[in-house]
Structure 1
């Protein structure tokens, strides 16, 4: 039966339809990340959501659509966690989606109705700032960390990588939201189309200026780095068999004049302090290859209480004493926040049954002079998602960033590709090449410009690969100036709140007092 025009209008006005549309519109930007990598979609992905928000009937409805869209975005970006967290992922998405409630209200206030040039000009600054505020809050390590920042979807776009060297992934995200706001205004605000078009041109001008005038890293030689990726090894005795496979692959590097060999996260399953046999086997490998090994130990320590994940540098005489203990742990995967309240998560998913312990601070390790004497800055697993950690290592003198990872649980999802893409962003931000070495998943290397080099080892590979990694000297603008984009966004929001507060007070003052009888 044909749907009448009146029924169609009622359907489009339905709260249920708009709620479902908000969830779908919020999920759309997730397609810009690997594996789909539809990076070009990022420039229009927020437009449907913005149009829904501006057409809300009340600010309360806009807040609801902002919440549902935020939940949809987080569900789409983290959908690969579903096998591990089950229904709990819905709870997390619902809670974190609340961070987009203010953004929804701002979009309604600035773009709703028939906005003029002034409101659209304000929206071009305020809405990107509001988006970054939501990303900043959810980037707190105890809320899951900065996985899936909007700007990270542009990791393979050369102009975006140049922007990252100036303002980090935050500048890329700010301009992306601004372009989306301008396009939404072009569609829905006929009175301010010139302002919206000017916003698009201004964003393009910023990108052009950075491309033409921003400094670039200066070459400073090369370093030969080998990645050992054993691949998926399951079943009884998997820890020992994985070590045997890593040992076998490392021996093939003999005579290839490497400066450093990197193993993935949890590549060693026993504490080296209590296993002299493993220490000797690793030292023998170092002597055979002629280079130090950076391994990763996931075990209960013999010298400190608790389980640590640690990057350990091993030379021809055994561990050199350089050790980095992972500082930022994966919520639920490596510890449970507020375990007394949320401990039940272990019964519905693969949450950690015992909390890992945290390290005390970042560490910069120095290789022997025979292998170039370079300084390396290790990171473990999703620590590569935190821009401040790689920036700190670069400021502390690291010439090479190394991220050791393992994505065995999520081997056949988008997660390994998303994780590997972060190497490009961190390298571009810091002007320091980054090695992303995985136990399983995707291993890759990015040069100081953020461009991937050499062979990428995919999830189906069990191999050892050697990379000639270009080094760079100098300090990137982002390392030098820090998160100025975030501070600027917070200032914009503070001014917006002050202006709205003054307007509210003026309305109260002008409101006539009730007449007395």
Structure 2
């Protein structure tokens, strides 16, 4: 142990160790999908920040751990953003700097039972605050939320229906804090064990109490995935392939056909021939066709990504324009300052335009569907709003063709399981090149995943449910609770600081360690 402590006295070694520790949770996400790893993956990072010789060093531990976490979760963006991804990770990693300080503040030295018990509430709350801030669309959105790693765990999906992915993140962090206490602080093992027991009891209670979605109908939805098409940059060839795959669906009693994002590369008002071909497909299959148009609009300036519903007589009038765009991928924030990003990666050469409001579309047979486009399936609030507005099925149209062979397609497909479980509505995730997937109203997978090597159309029997989950009814209450905890902490710390000014300072956290009999220099 002393050898490790001596090795970590080097600031750069310690920073590298923090970055490596921060990267460990990526193993819980697809493709590795070691979901159980999430419950211990933060422990090395927590133990490192806890042992920081100074509060300043703990801040650095939090920052470098955040950099490692972001680089690991978003490593597949490296071919697109090149060196720019390191700058983004360094800036967003700062969000974890206060978290590192709080780890040392509550767990440093030999924490009292009261301080250890408070840590089990404060540290998960602080983590949720970080996820809340970085969930803002302009900062990259809620990709890689810790709770999303539990997308294939049935009890976790039940909890998601109660408090969304936020509740899962809170509980996962709380378990990690308790495990760290069990390993490092013998005097705090009682509150640690109590916390683990309370988490188990709360999860079990939610399992019993949360209403289960009861199927009250069924629809047949076809997903068309063209895969990699020769001359992939040619939207005409891609359209031809999708048309070829859609036509054999005739006679299969399909209620809706869904194409992936950017499946149509032309404005349908400018290309009435394509609109007629789509209407003919609708007549042949006996189902409406939901396509996704990525093109310059003829009725307004700019390029939009839009979900467009086509019936047997052409466009039904239902259209949804994508509202939340991918930073750098679909627009460049502050282009006048950051436009140079186009010269070092595959950043957007021209900004897409945003839609104004979400839309629930009426399909034949009384079916109401809520479309989301690619990046938007990562946002819990958007699917929750669609469910509240009466959508029977959530539909995600996506394209991850730029990231074939990476972990991105599977990570993206897994998010739909959380959105289905949160809302109690089935969700269809349809992509151009995989992975496409469909989930029932309880978040469980229906039928096969269509992998990145598939070029096919597959019909899914999708059960419908219309109950209201606690998450749809009460919203992001775990986030609100976390913010209240942090607000109470700020008030308590403020009062404590005033008392210290009057009575004189007292040490915070563990005393400074010594190296070879002399005080250790503060690490930077």
Q: CA deviation at 1:274?
A: 1.0
Alignment of 1:428-507 (within 5 A): 428-507=421-500
Contact 1:116–1:189 (CA<8 Å) still a contact in 2? no
1:79-118 alignment, distance < 5 Å = 79-118=75-114
**What SS class does the counterpart of residue 465 from structure 2 fall into?**
strand
Counterpart position of 1:239: 235
Indicate whether 1:197 and 2:193 are aligned: yes
Choose the corresponding residue for 1:164, options 160, 163, 170: 160
TM-fit CA distance, 1:9? 5.2
- Partner residue, 2:291: 295
- Report the alpha carbon displacement of residue 350 of structure 1 after superposing the two structures with TM: 0.2
Q: 1:7 offset after TM fit, Å?
A: 6.8
1:410 corresponds in structure 2 to 403
Of 60, 64, 73, the residue aligned with 1:64 is 60
**2:161 equivalent to 1:186:** no
Separation (CA, whole Å) in 2 of partners of 1:165 and 1:16: 43
Report what 2:44 is aligned to. Answer: 48
CA 1:57–1:373 in 2, change beyond 3 Å: closer, same or farther? same
| Alpha-carbon spacing, 1:135–1:377, altered in 2? closer, same or farther (3 Å) | same
Residue 205 (structure 2) pairs with residue 209 (structure 1): yes
Residue 455 of structure 1: CA displacement? Answer: 1.7
Q: Structure 1 residues 421-430 or 15-24, which shifts more?
A: 15-24
How far apart, CA to CA, are the structure 1 residues paired with 2:232 and 2:374?
Answer: 24
CA contact (8 A) 1:66 1:105 kept: yes
CA contact (8 A) 1:297 1:312 kept: yes
Deviates more, 1:164-173 or 1:12-21: 12-21
Q: 1:314 aligns with which of 310, 314, 322?
A: 310
CA–CA separation in structure 2 for the residues paired with 1:230 and 1:36: 26
* Displacement of 1:10: 2.8
Q: 1:8 to 1:266 in 2, by over 3 A?
A: closer
User: Which of residues 219, 225, 232 in structure 2 aligns to 1:223?
Assistant: 219
Distance 1:507 1:70, change over 3 A: same
Q: Does 1:376 align with 2:372?
A: no
**TM-fit CA distance, 1:117:** 0.6
**CA offset at residue 13 of structure 1?**
2.8
Q: How does 1:268-347 map to 2 (within 5 A)?
A: 268-347=264-343
C-alpha contact 2:295 2:305 (8 A) present in aligned 1: yes
1:389 counterpart = 2:382: yes
Question: Matches of residues 100-179 of structure 1 in structure 2 within 5 Å?
Answer: 100-179=96-175
Distance 2:267 2:347 in 1: 23
Deviation at residue 14 of structure 1 after TM alignment: 2.4
Give the alignment of 1:4-19 within 5 angstroms: 10-19=6-15
Deviation at 1:237, TM superposition (A): 6.3
Kept in 2: contact 1:225–1:259 (CA 8 A): yes
Relative to structure 1, the CA distance from residue 276 to residue 51 in structure 2 (aligned partners, 3 Å threshold; closer, same or farther) is same
1:214-244 Cα distance to aligned partner (Å, 9 max, x none) = 1111211101000000001243762111101
* Contact 2:231 2:237 (8 Å CA) reproduced: no
- Hey, what does 2:245 align to over in structure 1? 249
CA distance in 1, matches of 2:160, 2:137: 21
Deviation at 1:366?
Answer: 0.4
Partner of 2:514: none
TM-score by length of 2: 0.95
- Give the equivalent residue in structure 1 for 2:30: 34
User: For 1:37 and 1:110, how far apart are their aligned partners in 2?
Assistant: 31
Aligned-residue CA RMSD (Å): 1.2
Partner secondary structure for residue 6 of structure 2: helix
Gap change, CA 1:479 and 1:108, over 3 Å in 2: same
**Tell me, what secondary structure is at the counterpart of 1:218?**
coil
